[in-house]
Amino acid sequence: MRLSYPLSVLFVSVSALLLGTTGCGDAINSIFGGGNNGNGTDDSTKPPSFGGGNGDGGTVKPCIDGLCKQQQACSGGGTTSVTGTVYDPAGANPLYNVLVYIPNHPDQVLPITHGATCDRCGNVSGDPLITAVTDTKGNFTLVNVPVGNDIPVIIQVGKWRRKLTMPNVQSCVENKLSDKNLTRLPRNKGEGDIPKIALTTGGADTLECFLRKQKLGLDDAEFTQPDGDGSVNFYAGSGQGNTAPVTTKYQGGASFPKAQGLWGTADSLKKYDLVLLSCEGAVHEETKGQAAYDAMYDYISNGGRMFATHWHRVWFTGNQQLNSIGTWNDGNDPAGGTGTAPADIITSFPKGHDFQEWLGNVNALNGAKGIDIVQPRHNLDAVDPKLARDWITMSDSMTPGHPTAVEYVTANAPVGADDAHICGRTVFSDLHVSASDQHGPDWPSGCTTSGLTPQEKALEFLFFDLSACVQNDNQPPQAGNVK
């Protein structure tokens, strides 16, 4: 995946927001590896660690030309640093595991190419000089930053990207980026890059409301027909008649094309970076079929990303490879249909630990450090740990003989590939994510709530994790997106 910044995009001036204070600490490991870790010890023999911690990053790459010529040594072990916090497009919640970097050669930062592309973590364009990844509070620290005028800073997670230009970086002090409107992800293409997203509506969930400005933060102008220039394209899924109506058109405007036109072939899917599938209230196999199931698997195996809720489990059970990631079972609803039940966060792997910590930071946890889920479902008993990763589970007394329901699971694709050959990714959510909005009314009249519920905040974390470069979930996050 060619992930970089179009040079024609206007840079954002942040001169009024830079506040200088004394900084300290040496440069630590960047994606180039090695060097002093800022604590007075040599870390050159250890693998670099990204994400979590304090979000620091640095560089030890030999300087030949470029912005590295503007790095300056500071007396007394000090450093020139840039600090800030990255937020979602709404500017409401801080984001975890977002790459922030300074390119040594800004003219080598390449335009983003949309569509399914293989993007394992590890490289970024523009010859990155200083890198950092945000921690669970969204904070980052760039150290040993070039000094002077017009220093570029790139904020990026997958194909979400925003570029700032700092008019003046002061030497040997902390330069603070304090305005969240500058360090949030873009709300529209005028502010930066946004992935190309296909979204299917359904009769039992409202993902079409989750992405809007009142929640995740995207401007309504970014939602268009597939032949429009918006970042999010709508397709009409199925419903269950009057009991589970589905949104099929814009308010006072055109009807959405049928979802079959999206998932019918891999060629139609591969135009998109991400595909989001709202629960339809039933599997509706009459609108899919084996060719569609295999096309979807081909899409994610070649770099696509799929997020599917509840009865869209048919994309997993309908394909041999995806079916193998776990034990599928259509059980009873753990909370009795429309109720609420507590769920547990799996913290035995690095991202799971950080997921729980992040949920706490955004006030989404219950008293037991779990999460309360509205309308949980039971379609997955367990996952194969060699092929997938469970994130949220809950006890289920409503389905005899099947005591555990997996509510969130992720898998890299091709299923079973080693780390060097994984390419795409999928998330299965066995709950109705945006249960508080209305499916059926013309868009956006059914989007009646604002702000994110606890389970929508869990979705936000996994949505941006789905957007990010692909890596082994059992390893700590890595900096970098593929050129």
Based on the fold, state whether residues 241 and 285 are members of the same structural domain: yes
Q: Is the pLDDT of residue 200 over 50?
A: yes
**pTM, entire model:** 0.88
- Of 123, 142, 172, the closest CA to residue 1 belongs to 123
Q: Which of 134, 155, 183 is the last residue of a domain?
A: 183
Task: Please report which confidence band the pLDDT of residue 60 belongs to, taking 50, 70 and 90 as the band edges.
Answer: low
75 vs 22, 79, 80, 143, 149, CA distance in Å?
12, 8, 11, 14, 22
Is 30 among the domain residues?
Answer: yes
Q: Is residue 458 part of a domain?
A: no
Helix (H, G, I), strand (E, B) or coil at 425: strand
Q: Is the pLDDT of residue 9 over 70?
A: no
Query: What's the number of domains the chain is made of?
Result: 2
Check whether 306 has a pLDDT greater than 50: yes
Q: Which CATH number belongs to the domain containing residue 442 in this structure?
A: 3.40.50
Which of 441, 298, 439, 312 minimizes the C-alpha distance to 377?
Answer: 312
Query: Do both 96 and 130 map to the same domain?
Result: yes
Tell me whether residue 86 is in a domain.
Answer: yes
479 falls within a domain = no
Q: Which residues pair with 151 in a beta bridge?
A: 166
Tokens coding 363: 């006030």
What element of type H or E holds 164? strand 160-169
Higher pLDDT pick, 337 / 286: 286
CATH code for the domain in which residue 101 is found: 2.60.40.10
127 occurs within a structural domain = yes
pLDDT in tens, 120-172: 886 678 999 999 999 999 999 999 999 999 999 999 999 999 999 999 999 99
- Domain assignment present for residue 146? The answer is yes
**Do residue 314 and residue 411 come from a single domain?**
yes
Verify that 350 and 398 share a domain, yes or no.
yes
Q: What residue numbers bound the domain in which 61 lies?
A: 12-183
For residues 150 and 34, membership in a common domain is answered with yes
Residues 219 and 136 in one domain: no
Quick check: 50 and 215 in contact, CB under 8 A?
no
One domain for residues 244 and 146: no
What's the CA gap between 173 and 159, in Å, rounded? 32
Let me know whether 325 and 446 are in one domain: yes
Residue 336 pLDDT = 84
Instruction: Please state, in angstroms and rounded to a whole number, the distance separating the CA atoms of residues 56 and 279.
Output: 39
161 with 3: CB under 8 angstroms?
yes
| Tens-place pLDDT, residues 72-82 | 999 999 999 99
Enter the tokens of residue 14.
């942040």
| Bridge-based pairing state of the strands 148-157 and 160-169 | antiparallel
Do both 67 and 119 map to the same domain? yes
Q: Can the peptide bond before residue 441 be classed as cis, meaning omega within 30 degrees of 0?
A: no
Tell whether 127 and 208 lie within a shared domain: no
pLDDT digit string, tens, across residues 26-44: 222 233 222 332 333 333 3
204 and 129 within one domain:
no
Give the count of beta carbons closer than 10 Å to the beta carbon of residue 368: 11
- Whether residues 142 and 273 fall in one domain: no
Question: Is residue 459 in some structural domain?
Answer: no
381 touches 329 (CB < 8 A): yes
> Helix or strand or coil: residue 457?
helix
On whether residue 275 sits in a domain, the answer given is yes
Residue 192 one-letter amino acid: G
